């Protein structure tokens, strides 16, 4: 009887210890996974450095955009990173300016060129043939030394080609990458301008229309002030109005 009780106690203690160990293992911080380097001109999804899987927010946004595309209603699609996604915080202005086009916003915060290329190649332009696409992407690549202006521009060129492969008659309003950082000589601003100098040549006057509105956000000496972009990167409400005013006529002409 005594030995049976001891055995039962031992088994219970082992089980309890196992549960504690499993919980501790579950609660332990996960080590970051070493992900393969991405190239600016090679399509790639956005991955989670802890799980190695596609980031949930990226995947969910992409899924919702694919669903919107499959409805085939949007005459205009905005696609890009957080600056494009920021239109979601300006719904009244977006509806006022672009509601007539049943415009769709395919912006995802943090996206780089390769991510937008992956999205276009994986369903975001299936079932939809918009009259115009407003494309701006590249500023999130500038911090990566391996992503040269040439590679960033080549990735943008591939995005345009991927759009036209799926919707040959769509006109692309290719916006110059907006200015960032306070001074014209700041490294991120310089690199963005190097990208812009290359992509400006993509304008063919027919299906691709390059448009640089960056100066509208700057003072006369090229300074970017926090009253325009509070973090010297992202737009505020007044800045979105500046963008809307700047592209209104150009976009209307492309949609005709």
Give the residue-averaged pLDDT of 111-126.
99
In a domain, 17, yes or no: no
Task: Give the long-range contacts of residues 190-194, CB within 8 A, separation 24 or more.
Answer: 191/142, 191/149, 192/138, 192/139, 192/142, 194/149
Q: What pLDDT, on a 0 to 100 scale, did the predictor assign at position 32? A: 61
Q: What pLDDT, on a 0 to 100 scale, did the predictor assign at position 154? A: 99
Q: Is the pLDDT of residue 98 over 50?
A: yes
Q: List strand residue ranges (DSSP E) for the chain, in order.
A: 76-80, 104-107, 132-136, 171-175, 208-211
In a domain, 32, yes or no: no
In a domain, 185, yes or no: yes
Residue of 62, 81, 234, 239 with catalytic role: 234
Q: What is the rounded CA–CA span in Å between residue 233 and residue 180? A: 5
Give the residue-averaged pLDDT of 83-89.
99
pLDDT 10s digits, 152-204: 999 999 999 999 999 999 999 999 999 999 999 999 999 999 999 999 999 99
Q: What is the rounded CA–CA span in Å between residue 159 and residue 250? A: 21
Q: What pLDDT, on a 0 to 100 scale, did the predictor assign at position 8? A: 40
> Is residue 82 flagged as an active site residue?
yes
pLDDT 10s digits, 20-36: 445 544 454 556 677 88
Give the residue-averaged pLDDT of 86-115.
99
In a domain, 220, yes or no: yes
Residue of 48, 82, 164, 212 with catalytic role: 82
In a domain, 76, yes or no: yes
In a domain, 226, yes or no: yes
Name the residue range of residue 67's domain: 56-255
Q: Is the pLDDT of residue 2 over 50?
A: no
Q: Is the pLDDT of residue 16 over 90?
A: no
For the entire predicted model, the pTM comes to 0.88
Paired with 174 in beta bridges are 135, 210
Q: What is the CATH number of the domain that holds 208?
A: 3.40.50.1110
CB 180 within 8 A of CB 233: yes
> Is residue 234 flagged as an active site residue?
yes
Residue of 4, 34, 221, 231 with catalytic role: 231
> Is residue 203 flagged as an active site residue?
no
In a domain, 183, yes or no: yes
Total structural domains within the chain: 1
In a domain, 31, yes or no: no
């Amino acid at each position: 009887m005594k030995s049976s009780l001891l055995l039962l106690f031992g088994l219970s203690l082992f089980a309890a210890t196992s549960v504690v160990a499993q919980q501790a293992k579950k609660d332990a911080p996960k080590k970051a996974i070493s992900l393969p380097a991405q190239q600016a001109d090679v399509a790639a999804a956005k991955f989670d450095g802890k799980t190695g899987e596609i980031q949930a927010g990226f995947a969910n946004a992409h899924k919702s955009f694919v669903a919107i595309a499959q409805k085939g209603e949007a005459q205009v699609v905005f696609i890009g990173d957080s600056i494009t996604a920021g239109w979601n915080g300006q719904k009244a202005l977006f509806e006022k300016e672009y509601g007539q086009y049943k415009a769709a916003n395919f912006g995802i915060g943090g996206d780089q060129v390769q991510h937008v290329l992956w999205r276009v190649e994986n369903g975001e332009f299936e079932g939809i043939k918009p009259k115009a696409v407003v494309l701006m992407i590249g500023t999130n690549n500038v911090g990566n030394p391996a992503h040269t202006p040439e590679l960033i521009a080549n990735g943008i060129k591939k995005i345009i080609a991927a759009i036209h492969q799926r919707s040959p008659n769509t006109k692309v309003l290719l916006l110059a990458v907006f200015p960032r950082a306070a001074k014209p000589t700041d490294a991120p601003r310089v690199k963005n301008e190097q990208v812009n100098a290359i992509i400006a040549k993509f304008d063919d006057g027919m299906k691709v229309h390059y448009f640089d509105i960056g100066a509208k956000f700057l003072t006369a000496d090229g300074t970017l002030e926090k009253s325009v972009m509070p973090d010297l990167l992202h737009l505020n409400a007044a800045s979105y109005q500046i963008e809307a005013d700047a592209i209104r006529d150009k976009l209307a002409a492309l949609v005709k």
